């Protein structure tokens, strides 16, 4: 007996140590993620360029499916058991995070639009706000993905077709068109295909060639389309194509369906005419149409540097084929993915001496994989990166750079054969504004910018509630049987119909078992290791909740409302406990982590306020603000994630003493500096708030860490219940008197 106690003690201690070790590893990983987010804020990469995953922390369960679904590394991370945006600038709008979220806690938005003047204001069906029958599609709307552009183009074509069939589209002139599409990129091409399927009279105008921006991609560039389907052309079999393959496919589609595409035509403006029609001006003359779809992209004309020598023939604004440049001295200017990709592609060619010039202090807008490749190229000496530099002059054999080093501007001359300027493009916004497209977000009125998809729990709970009422009605209808003592039930006329091993009772048992095993398939859908993805995860989670409750109700009916002290009865008790732990866990996971991440976000805002105040005071040669920042960071990090729980509790008591001591010293120092009393009071108040939020986040994390074990407890209860259920089914099949149709 003694050895069994010692064995049990050893197992318990081993599990406890393993749990503590795993917890410590989790805290260290979270500390690294928070530090990475702080660095991202300093670099500016936490803000999105366009698309942005907006997370509702009051709903987030911390399942991590969004992090696993995102193909761009580092956009989302789990912090305090919930998803948080780390590198927002890396988001390119795949939208997989929002699609996978089981509770609708993520919506793909365009970030904070309140101060944006480069995002057009759109109403339903991508129609320009206040501008009837003028539509926008594709990259010009702020969404850059090919898949999104295709969706936009199809939606616009379908809407124009619908309006024509309903008679709400103005009748064009004899020489006019139902729809004119400006741009033959993925959005314009798809809009044309949909317009043809709708029987519209339409025309496509393209200033360059078919393919739009995609046609200007470097040779053999992999184009991530994701699964797409185009009207009339059908579904594309692959999700990844090289540029040349995709362009060839589009050209074949345009030729097969005889799409009226005029290339080499530059769009010059739109003017409203009488009868609700529009005149589209172009280099090939005016055209009249009832509706216009502008799918002309955002890049417009390349952005020039405006420096001497920029008109030399050796200066280019895009790179099509890196292999044609060898044994050259090349300068690439820019800090985006295009510039970085071009520099690396050129550096890989034989004999090239490549320099990448960027005006910023760090690359904040490039994808994680490009950043990793760039660092490897720099480590190998394949290319040189000069940050905080600006081109001042381009000569025949050299380029002049102004480089900032330690606050001073130094001139540097580089031998040079070719210059690639990839500083983005000048968007066609003036043309859009002249056409009546608004960029003032207040014009959207009360329309919602983000649509809440809901959690999907209402249908699940509604169906469970309905079945519960049916079970209660069954009990009330046959209460004369269900209220009898067990020994007297066999004499009742309905016993063979209502008892667990026959009739309705047996059917309820079979249904309950089927629901339980279907319920377990949710684990396979949620696992990242199992390629099982029929339907959205939100739908599977809804079914997980619904089938769990419905299985319990079926088990009640199967037991004839009288569970016994048997294996089946124990399985029933396990199922009851499982439903209870699932409901409690769902509540805890949706509530507790929210407070911790909310504190972290508020802490970042406070730090930003401290930094702004420091910058203001430093202009007056006062370094007091920076001293406060350093002291606050020291207090926050002191004992925050380090040591055991007991050590951190003692650190909490010690920190309160240290906080009062630090605030007293800082107050005296501020008075010595001659700071105004109001500014000093505000600074110290921010310092206290920052310290307090950090402590609350830490201790909410401790609570979340304790409650995290609830999920594993829920799973072990589920395993025990399933084992009991299997034993119950085997026993019933072996010993029970089953009806003929089951044997």
Please give the Cα distance from 320 to 264 (Å, whole number). 19
Are the C-beta atoms of 201 and 177 separated by less than 8 Å?
Answer: yes
Q: With b meaning 16 or more CB within 10 Å and e meaning fewer, what string describes 417-451?
A: bbbbbbbbbebbbebbeebbbbbebeebeeeeeee
Residue 367 pLDDT class (50, 70, 90 cuts)? confident
Q: Which residues contact 104 (CB under 8 A, 6 or more apart)?
A: 56, 59, 452, 453, 454, 455, 456, 538
Domain 303-425 fold? FAD/NAD(P)-binding domain (3.50.50)
Q: Which residues contact 25 (CB under 8 A, 6 or more apart)?
A: none
Determine the 3-state secondary structure of 306 from DSSP: coil
Pairing of strands 408-415, 418-421: unpaired
For domain 124-300+428-436, the CATH class is alpha beta
Select the more confidently predicted residue: 463 or 592.
Answer: 463
Q: Which residues contact 483 (CB under 8 A, 6 or more apart)?
A: none
Highest mean pLDDT among 21-25, 33-37, 422-426: 422-426
Please give the Cα distance from 309 to 292 (Å, whole number). 40
Flag the least confident range among 58-72, 383-397, 480-494: 58-72
Confidence check: pLDDT of 147 > 50: yes
Across residues 537-557, what is the average pLDDT? 80
Confidence check: pLDDT of 34 > 90: no
pLDDT given for residue 11 in this prediction: 67
Confidence check: pLDDT of 569 > 90: no
Candidates 641, 653, 639, 636; CA nearest to 702 is 641
What mean pLDDT is reported for the chain?
78
Confidence check: pLDDT of 451 > 50: no
pLDDT given for residue 739 in this prediction: 57
Pairing of strands 76-79, 82-85: antiparallel
Across residues 400-411, what is the average pLDDT? 90
Tell me 388's DSSP state: S
Tell me 310's DSSP state: T
Select the more confidently predicted residue: 420 or 425.
Answer: 420
pLDDT given for residue 287 in this prediction: 93
3-state secondary structure 323-335: HHCCCCEEEEECC
Long-range contacts of residues 59-64, Cβ cutoff 8 Å, at least 24 apart: 59/103, 59/104, 59/105, 59/455, 59/590, 60/103, 60/105, 60/106, 60/590, 60/593, 60/594, 61/102, 61/103, 61/105, 61/586, 61/589, 61/590, 62/589, 62/593, 63/102, 63/526
Q: What is the pLDDT of residues 651-684, one digit of tens each?
A: 666 767 777 777 788 778 777 777 777 777 777 7
Q: Which helix (H) or strand (E) covers residue 45, if one does?
A: none
Please give the Cα distance from 725 to 735 (Å, whole number). 15
Domain 45-116 fold? Alpha-Beta Plaits (3.30.70)
Tell me 50's DSSP state: S
**Integer CA distances (angstroms), 343 to 295, 337, 400, in order:** 29, 10, 18
Percent of the chain with pLDDT over 70: 71
Across residues 533-547, what is the average pLDDT? 71
Backbone torsion region of residue 676, taken as left when φ is above 0, otherwise alpha when ψ lies between -120 and 50, otherwise beta: beta
pLDDT given for residue 1 in this prediction: 41
Candidates 121, 110, 66; CA nearest to 438 is 121
Across residues 404-414, what is the average pLDDT? 89
Percent of the chain with pLDDT over 90: 19
pLDDT given for residue 447 in this prediction: 37
Flag the least confident range among 232-236, 523-527, 721-725: 523-527
Please give the Cα distance from 543 to 102 (Å, whole number). 11
Highest mean pLDDT among 12-16, 347-351, 640-644: 347-351
Are the C-beta atoms of 201 and 160 separated by less than 8 Å?
Answer: no
Q: What is the pLDDT of residues 182-229, one digit of tens each?
A: 999 999 999 999 999 999 999 999 988 888 777 777 666 666 556 788
Highest mean pLDDT among 6-15, 493-502, 589-598: 493-502
Please give the Cα distance from 124 to 740 (Å, whole number). 60
Q: What is the DSSP string of 183-234?
A: --SHHHHHHHHHHHHTT--EEEEESS-TTGGGGGSPTT-EEE--S-EETTTE
pLDDT given for residue 621 in this prediction: 40
Highest mean pLDDT among 340-349, 391-400, 663-672: 391-400
Please give the Cα distance from 648 to 372 (Å, whole number). 36
**Integer CA distances (angstroms), 247 to 150, 349, 433, in order:** 15, 25, 31
Across residues 432-437, what is the average pLDDT? 83
CATH 3.30.70.20-classified regions of the chain: 45-116
Are the C-beta atoms of 344 and 383 separated by less than 8 Å?
Answer: yes
Phi, psi of 291 (to 5 degrees): -140, 155
The separation between CA 21 and the C-alpha centre of its own chain, rounded to angstroms, equals: 31
Confidence check: pLDDT of 417 > 90: yes
Residue 177 pLDDT class (50, 70, 90 cuts)? very high
Tell me 640's DSSP state: S
CATH 3.50.50.60-classified regions of the chain: 124-300+428-436, 303-425
- Structure tokens of 705? 């860490």
pLDDT given for residue 452 in this prediction: 41
- Structure tokens of 541? 């989670």
Residue 281 pLDDT class (50, 70, 90 cuts)? very high
Residue 142 pLDDT class (50, 70, 90 cuts)? confident
The pTM of this model reads 0.55
Flag the least confident range among 352-361, 494-503, 542-551: 542-551
Select the more confidently predicted residue: 20 or 36.
Answer: 36
pLDDT given for residue 14 in this prediction: 67
Handedness of CA 545, 546, 549, 554 (dihedral sign): negative
Residue 36 pLDDT class (50, 70, 90 cuts)? confident
Flag the least confident range among 53-67, 149-163, 693-707: 693-707
Select the more confidently predicted residue: 236 or 212.
Answer: 236
State the Rg of the chain over Cα. Answer: 33
Across residues 360-364, what is the average pLDDT? 83
pLDDT given for residue 161 in this prediction: 94
3-state secondary structure 73-130: CCCEEEECCEEEECCHHHCCCCCHHHHHCCCCCEEEECCCCCCCCCCCCECHHHEECC
3-state secondary structure 537-568: HHHHHHHHHHHHHHHHHHHHHHCCCCCCCCHH
Q: What is the pLDDT of residues 118-129, one digit of tens each?
A: 678 888 788 988
pLDDT given for residue 653 in this prediction: 67
Select the more confidently predicted residue: 709 or 438.
Answer: 438
Flag the least confident range among 93-97, 285-289, 535-539, 698-702: 698-702
693 CB neighbour count, 10 Å cutoff: 21
């Amino acid at each position: 007996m003694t050895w069994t106690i010692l064995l049990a003690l050893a197992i318990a201690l081993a599990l406890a140590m393993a749990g503590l070790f795993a917890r410590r590893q989790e805290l260290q990983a979270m500390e690294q993620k928070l530090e990475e987010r702080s660095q991202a804020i300093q670099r500016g990469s936490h803000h999105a360029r366009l698309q942005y995953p907006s997370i509702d922390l009051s709903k987030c369960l911390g399942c991590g499916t969004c992090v696993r679904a995102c193909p761009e590394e580092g956009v989302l991370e789990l912090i305090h058991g919930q998803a948080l945006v780390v590198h927002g600038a890396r988001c390119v709008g795949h939208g997989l995070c929002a699609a996978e979220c089981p509770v609708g806690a993520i919506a793909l938005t365009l970030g904070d639009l309140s101060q944006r003047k480069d995002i057009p204001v759109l109403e339903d069906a991508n129609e320009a706000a206040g501008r009837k029958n003028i539509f926008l599609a594709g990259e010009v709307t702020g969404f850059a993905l090919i898949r999104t552009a295709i969706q936009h183009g199809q939606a616009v074509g379908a809407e124009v077709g619908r309006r024509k069939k309903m008679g709400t589209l103005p009748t064009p002139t004899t020489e006019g068109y139902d729809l004119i599409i400006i741009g033959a990129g993925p959005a314009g091409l798809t809009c044309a295909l949909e317009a043809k399927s709708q029987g519209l009279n339409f025309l496509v105008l393209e200033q360059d060639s078919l393919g739009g921006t995609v046609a200007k991609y470097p040779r053999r560039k992999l184009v991530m389309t994701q699964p797409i389907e185009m009207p009339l052309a059908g579904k594309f079999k692959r999700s990844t194509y090289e540029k040349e393959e995709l362009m060839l496919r589009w050209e074949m589609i345009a030729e097969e369906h005889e799409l009226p595409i005029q290339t080499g035509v530059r769009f010059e403006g739109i003017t409203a005419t009488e009868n609700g029609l529009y005149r589209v001006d172009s280099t090939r003359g005016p055209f009249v149409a009832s509706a216009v779809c502008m799918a002309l992209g955002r890049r417009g004309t390349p952005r020039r540097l405006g420096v001497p020598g920029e008109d030399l023939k050796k200066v280019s604004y895009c790179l099509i084929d890196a292999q044609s440049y060898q044994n050259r001295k090349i300068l690439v200017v820019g800090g985006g993915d295009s510039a970085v990709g071009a520099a690396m592609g050129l550096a890989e060619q034989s004999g090239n001496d490549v320099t990448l010039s960027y005006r910023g202090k760090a690359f904040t807008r490039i994808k994680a994989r490009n950043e990793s490749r760039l660092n490897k190229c720099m480590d190998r000496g394949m290319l040189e990166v000069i940050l905080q530099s600006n081109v001042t002059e381009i000569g025949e054999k050299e380029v002049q750079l102004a480089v900032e080093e330690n606050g001073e501007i130094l001139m540097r001359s580089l031998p040079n054969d070719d210059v690639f300027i990839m500083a983005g493009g000048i968007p066609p916004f003036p043309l859009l504004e002249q056409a009546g497209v608004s960029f003032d977000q207040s014009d959207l009125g009360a329309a919602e910018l983000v649509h809440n998809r809901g959690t999907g729990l209402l249908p699940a709970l509604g169906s469970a509630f309905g079945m519960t009422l049916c079970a209660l009605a069954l009990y009330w209808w046959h209460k004369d049987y269900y209220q009898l003592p067990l020994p007297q039930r066999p004499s009742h006329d309905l016993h063979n119909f209502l008892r667990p091993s026959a009739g309705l009772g047996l059917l309820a048992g079979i249904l309950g078992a089927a629901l339980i095993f279907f319920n377990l398939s949710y684990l396979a859908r949620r696992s990242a290791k199992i390629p099982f993805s029929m339907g959205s995860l939100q739908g599977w989670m809804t079914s997980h909740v619904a089938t769990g409750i419905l299985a319990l109700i079926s088990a009640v009916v199967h037991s004839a409302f009288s569970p016994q002290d048997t294996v089946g009865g124990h399985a029933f008790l396990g199922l009851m406990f499982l439903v209870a732990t699932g409901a409690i866990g769902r509540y805890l996971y949706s509530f507790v982590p929210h407070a911790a991440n909310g504190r972290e976000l508020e802490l970042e805002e406070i730090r930003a306020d401290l930094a702004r105040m420091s910058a203001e005071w430093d202009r007056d040669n006062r370094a007091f603000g920076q001293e406060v920042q350093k002291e606050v960071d020291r207090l926050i990090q002191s004992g925050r994630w380090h040591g055991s729980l007991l050590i951190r509790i003692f650190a909490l008591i010690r920190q309160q003493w240290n906080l009062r001591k630090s605030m007293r010293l800082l107050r005296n120092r501020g008075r010595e500096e001659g700071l105004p009393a109001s500014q000093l009071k505000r600074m110290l108040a921010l310092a206290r708030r920052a310290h307090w939020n950090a402590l609350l986040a830490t201790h909410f994390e401790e609570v979340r860490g304790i409650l995290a074990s609830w999920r594993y407890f829920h799973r072990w209860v589920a395993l025990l219940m399933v084992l009991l259920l299997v034993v119950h089914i085997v026993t019933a099949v072996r010993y029970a008197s089953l009806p003929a149709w089951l044997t």
